[in-house]
Amino acid sequence: MGAVKNLLRGFIYTAIYAVTTIIIPLVTFSWLFQMTVQGFPLDFEQQEYQNILFWVTAFGLVICGCAFFSHSSPKQSIRKAVFALIQVIVNCLYIWSYRFSGATDVQFTIVGYGFFSLDVQQMVLIYMGIYFLTIVIKMYDIIDFTVNREKIRENRMKA
Amino acid sequence: MILQATDFFQVLADIIGAIVTFVSPFVTPIGQWMTDWITIVIGFLQQNFSGNLTLFIVIFVILIILSMVINIIWPGDRPGSIFSKEKVEDFEDKIELREGKGIIDEIRRCKDCGNPIGDAETCSLCGARN
C-alpha cells in the first residue's frame, strides 16, 4: 500500500513539474513568437528559438525524473534528500539555459515603431544566489537524515 | 483595466525593487559564482549533447523505473526489505522494547505506599514527601 501511495504522489508531482517546466514555457515561447502588438507583428530577433525549446525540454525532462524520484520516496529518507538536491542543481541549469539561449536578454522589434528589449539577467543572478542557499539547505537535509537515520526510521515504523 | 491599476503596480514594483536592492549585495556574488560553474556545465552539454533529446529521455525513463523498483522494495512504511532481514529484526526488537515499557510504568508513584502521585511532591494518601 505504501509503495502505491508513494508512486501516486510521485506521478502527481511529475505532472505538476511537467506542466510548469515544459508545457507552460513551450506554450509561452510559441505564443511569444506569434504575438502582435496593435496589429503589428513582433519580429523576434533571437534566431535560437529551437535552441530554447530544446534545452527547456531536455532539462525539464531531467527535472521531472528527479521530481518523481524525490517525491515518491518516503519522508525524511536519504534518497529523497539526495534527489531533491540533484533536482535543485538541475533546476539551476534549467534556469540558466534560458540565459544561454538568449531568453534573458531578448530584443523585440515592432515593425514601423522601433524595438524594446527585456534584460532580466540581474534578476536571474539574484535568483541563482537564492538557489545556492536552497542547495545548502538540501545538503543539510542529507546530513541530518544520515546522522538521525535510525531515529527517523524507528519513528516511521511506529507511525 | 491594467492602466487603471498603474498606482498599485507602481507600489508593488517599489516594494519588490527595495527587497531586491537590499538582498542584491549578498546574493548577487553568490549568484555570479553559481553562474560561472553552470556556464561551464551547460557549455559542455551544448558541445556534446545539443540537438539530441535521446539522452535526456533515457535519463527520465531510467529515473522513473528505478524509483518504481526502489519504492516497491523499500516503500518506507514497513521495516526493511527482502534484502535486509537482519535490520528488520533489529527494528522489531526496538519497537517491542518501547511498547513493552507501557504507560503504567512511567507513572510516578509514592516511595512509601506506592500510590500514584503524578507530579505532586507530597503523597495524598500517606502524606510522605517524594
Local confidence pLDDT in tens for the 130 residues of chain B: 555 667 788 888 888 888 878 888 888 888 888 888 988 998 888 888 877 889 999 999 999 999 999 988 888 766 555 555 555 555 556 556 555 555 566 677 777 787 777 777 777 778 777 7
Residues B30 and A131: their CA atoms lie apart, in Å, by: 9
Contact indicator for A83, A69 with CB cutoff of 8 Å: yes
- Residue B23: list chain A partners with CB under 8 A: 126, 129
B29 backbone dihedrals φ, ψ, rounded to 5°: -60, -40
Q: What is the pTM of this model?
A: 0.69
Q: What is the pLDDT of residues B102-114, one digit of tens each?
A: 556 667 777 778 7
Beta-strand runs (E) in chain A = 36-37, 40-44, 105-110, 114-119
* Span B9-22, pLDDT tens digits: 888 888 888 887 88
Model pLDDT for residues A12-41, shown as the tens digit of each residue: 999 999 999 999 988 988 887 777 666 666
Asked if A126 contacts A58 with a C-beta cutoff of 8 angstroms, the reply is no
Which of B63, B66, B94 minimises the CB distance to A154? B94
Percent helix, percent strand, percent coil in chain B, to nearest 5:
70, 5, 30
pLDDT digits (tens, 9 = 90+) for A33-80: 777 666 666 555 555 677 778 888 999 999 999 999 999 998 888 999
* % residues pLDDT > 90 (chain A): 37
ipTM of this complex > 0.90? no
pLDDT score at B64? 95
* B37: exposed, middle or buried (Cβ count in 10 Å: 0-12, 13-18, 19+): exposed
Q: Which residues of A touch B26 (CB under 8 A)?
A: 129
* A154–chain B nearest CA distance, Å: 7
Residue type, A67: A
* Residue B11 touches partner A, C-beta closer than 8 Å: no
> Could you tell me which chain A residue has the CA closest to the CA of B71?
A3
Confidence of residue A139 (pLDDT cuts 50, 70, 90): very high
Q: Give the whole-angstrom CA distance, residue B103 versus residue A116.
A: 72
Rounded Cα distance, A94 and A64, in Å: 12
Q: Which chain B positions have a beta carbon within 8 Å of A156's beta carbon?
A: 76-77
Assess B34–A contact: CB distance below 8 Å, yes or no.
Answer: yes
Cell 496589429: give the residue.
A39
